[in-house]
Amino acid sequence: WSDLEWHGRAVHVAAAGQTKWWFAKRFLHPDVVAEYDYVFLWDEDVEVDAFNPIRYLDIVRREGLEISQPALSRGSEIHHGITARRAGQGDVHRRFYRPSGPRCDDDSTGPPCTGWVEMMVPVFSRAAWRCTWGMVQNDLVHAWGLDYKLGYCAQGNRTMKVGIVDAEYVLHRGVPSLGGGGGRSSASRIAVRRRSFAEMQIFNRRWKEAVAADASFVYQQSCE
């Protein structure tokens, strides 16, 4: 970061071998970052050569997006079809279409068809981050499962307040770093993935228990 003009005015925190969600829970408390309109919580294997954050935020504000992400350009490693860039079809898209597995169409009201972004490069408004930070668990450092619940933090209709920005996009290299940076089939990477799945099960169990204990909870329909 030393080549950037503002380097000396920023607080730099590094925790070797930790995840961004571990970092966010401990260092990005909503009160600490309250002076910022948006929080970018991105992975490190993303190329931003074609990305302009000022234009991105202009679009986000104009479209009323509380939770968003830049689209993934051609050549990216793409895990979810909704994140792929739709060139020439407008600045933003909010839903994904597929005929099966599960079906996604204009009648879909929840993830993974609409109201969803990937945890790789999310951008949160101040209000959305305060809500999301509260859902991030201290002991679950990979945050698997959280993406399906982000719609509850959208400050309104998630099918409108959550979206993918096509006009500003990034390239996802898909380079694993946790677990020593070995290949995807290495023992360390397999251990990371195993823990991620285990954490998702714990998160989902805690979510169900919290919902059961809250008489005022209003359920949002999912495409699952």
Domain count, the chain: 1
DSSP string, 107-144: T--STTTBS---TTS-EEEHHHHHHHHHHS-TT-SS-T
Residue 85 is predicted with a pLDDT of 96
Q: Around Cβ 178, how many Cβ atoms within 10 Å? A: 17
> CA 115 to CA 49: how far, in whole Å?
27
Confidence at 134, pLDDT banded by 50, 70, 90: very high
Q: What percent of the chain has pLDDT over 90?
A: 73
pLDDT recorded at residue 222:
55
User: 170 lies in a domain?
Assistant: yes
* pLDDT tier, 190 (very low <50, low <70, confident <90, very high otherwise): confident
Which pLDDT does position 72 carry in this prediction? 96
Between residues 218 and 140, the one the model is more confident about:
140
CA separation for the pair 55, 123 (Å, rounded): 14
Q: Evaluate whether residue 1 is within a structural domain.
A: no
Q: How far apart are CA 137 and CA 37, in angstroms?
A: 23
Answer yes or no: is 101 within a domain.
yes
What pLDDT does 63 receive?
98
Is the pLDDT at 205 greater than 80? The verdict is yes
The pLDDT of residue 51 is 97
Region 186-213 average pLDDT: 92
Return the minimum-mean-pLDDT range out of 33-37, 146-150, 217-221.
217-221
| Model pTM above 0.75 | yes
* pLDDT, mean of residues 135-152: 94
Note the pLDDT of residue 200.
96
**Res 105 pLDDT > 70:** yes
Question: Across all residues in the chain, what is the average pLDDT?
Answer: 91
Residue 23 in domain: yes
Q: Is residue 220 situated within a structural domain?
A: no
Radius of gyration of the CA atoms of the chain, in A: 18
224 has a pLDDT exceeding 50: no
Q: How much is the pLDDT for 40?
A: 97
User: What is the domain range of residue 25?
Assistant: 7-213
pLDDT, tens digit, 9 for 90 and up, residues 46-102: 999 999 999 999 999 999 999 999 999 999 999 999 999 998 899 999 999 999 878
Instruction: Classify residue 169: in a domain, yes or no.
Output: yes
Residue 92 within any structural domain of the chain: yes
Task: Answer yes or no: is 147 within a domain.
Answer: yes
